[in-house]
A and B are shown apart, each in its own frame.
Chain A
Amino acid sequence: MAGMAGFGTGTGSGTGVITTCGSTGIIWNQWVSVTSASQEFTFTTSTNTAASSAIWVNWSGRGSYVIPETYQQMHVDSRSVSKREIRREIKRMAVRTRQVRKITERPKRKAETLLLKHLAREQRRTWMEKDYFDFSVESRVYRIRRGSVGNVELIDDAGIVAKLCCHPRNVSSLPEADVAMSQWMMLKYNEKEFFRLANFHYQRPGYRSAA
């Protein structure tokens, strides 16, 4: 298709679908109706002969040729859903997800590390395996469970004596291990204040707070 001036009067052959074309519109309509390789035909101009699939490559490579609007749209659509682009987009999303996860997981890991550093071996084991740790203040035994609200229990051999709720004010923005650390510190070193602030979610019948 070196001589574009000749394409409007080119001659087609091969499947016999077109033999002579007088306008670009007809040529285009014939070309876009080719749906399989078996229908492929050759198109001859005064200066060049090529398979239909190559003709388009030749034509579109020439800056002076105006690509029909319908084909431009087809071209854009086929590009936007190409497998390569989908794969790239999936990769980009996976990278972004990893980045977000890293940012949100970091505080949790830091808080867990700090808490575990201060817990005794048995407490570390139960925290990691069963999501709680026990400790005693004088003769009272407390259990702090993983969680943020209503996660502190006063226990004895018979089970739960009372369920208490006292937590940091900004509890929703703190990692759970930091919440547990705050509750643990207060119960250990300021038990009376903890009981003054706490709400009881459960009390065994007959229980009266000694603190």
Chain B
Amino acid sequence: MPSELIVLDKSGDVKMIWDGEKKKEVDAAKKMFDDMKKNGYLAYTVDREGEKGEVIFDFHPQAEKIIMTPQMQGG
């Protein structure tokens, strides 16, 4: 089952799908993850139903789904 990286941005969102068994795809997803982390993005792994999840700080190649949201601040 392919994994999914969803990054929220001004276009709505950007999705990247990778297969945990394929190194090239994993590397591409990891690069996107790392780039967004450098920009202050927060990352959460969630299961496909979106029920269980947690905050992550490093890329998880076997994660079912990763959602990245922009840095938060008080308003």
Q: Using a CB–CB distance below 8 Å, which chain A residues touch chain B?
A: 106-111, 113-114, 118, 149-150, 165-171, 173-175, 178, 181-183, 185-186, 188-190, 193-194, 197-199
Interface-central residue, A107, A181, A185, by most chain B CB under 10 Å: A185
Pair B12/A114 contact, Cβ less than 8 Å: yes
When distances are taken between beta carbons in the complex, the residues of chain A under 8 Å from B11 are: 106-107, 110
Give CA–CA (A170, B7) in the complex, Å. 14
Q: A189-B44, A189-B54 are in contact. Are A181 and B73 (CB under 8 A)?
A: no
When distances are taken between beta carbons in the complex, the residues of chain B under 8 Å from A189 are: 44, 53-55
Complex A-B: 30 CB contacts under 8 Å? A110-B13, A111-B12, A111-B13, A114-B12, A118-B46, A118-B50, A150-B75, A166-B74, A166-B75, A167-B73, A167-B75, A168-B72, A168-B73, A170-B70, A171-B75, A173-B10, A174-B8, A174-B9, A178-B9, A178-B13, A181-B67, A182-B69, A185-B53, A186-B42, A189-B53, A190-B55, A193-B72, A197-B73, A198-B74, A199-B75
Q: B16 CB to closest chain A CB, in angstroms?
A: 14
Number of A-B contacts (CB under 8 A): 89
Q: A114-B13, A174-B8, A178-B13 are in contact. Are A168 and B69 (CB under 8 A)?
A: yes
Interface-central residue, B8, B42, B67, B69, by most chain A CB under 10 Å: B8
When distances are taken between beta carbons in the complex, the residues of chain A under 8 Å from B8 are: 111, 114, 168, 174, 178, 181-182
* Number of chain B interface residues as a range: 20 to 34
Q: Which one of B9, B10, B50, B73 contacts A166 once the chains associate, using CB atoms below 8 Å? A: B73
When distances are taken between beta carbons in the complex, the residues of chain A under 8 Å from B6 are: 114
Give CA–CA (A68, B21) in the complex, Å. 82
Contact residues of A: prevailing secondary structure = helix
Q: B70 CB to closest chain A CB, in angstroms?
A: 4
Residues of B55-75 whose CB lies within 8 A of A: 55, 67, 69-75
Q: Using a CB–CB distance below 8 Å, which chain B residues touch chain A?
A: 6, 8-13, 40, 42, 44, 46, 50, 53-55, 67, 69-75
When distances are taken between beta carbons in the complex, the residues of chain A under 8 Å from B12 are: 106-111, 113-114, 175, 178
- Chain A's closest residue to B71 (CB) is A169
When distances are taken between beta carbons in the complex, the residues of chain A under 8 Å from B9 are: 174, 178
Give CA–CA (A44, B50) in the complex, Å. 90
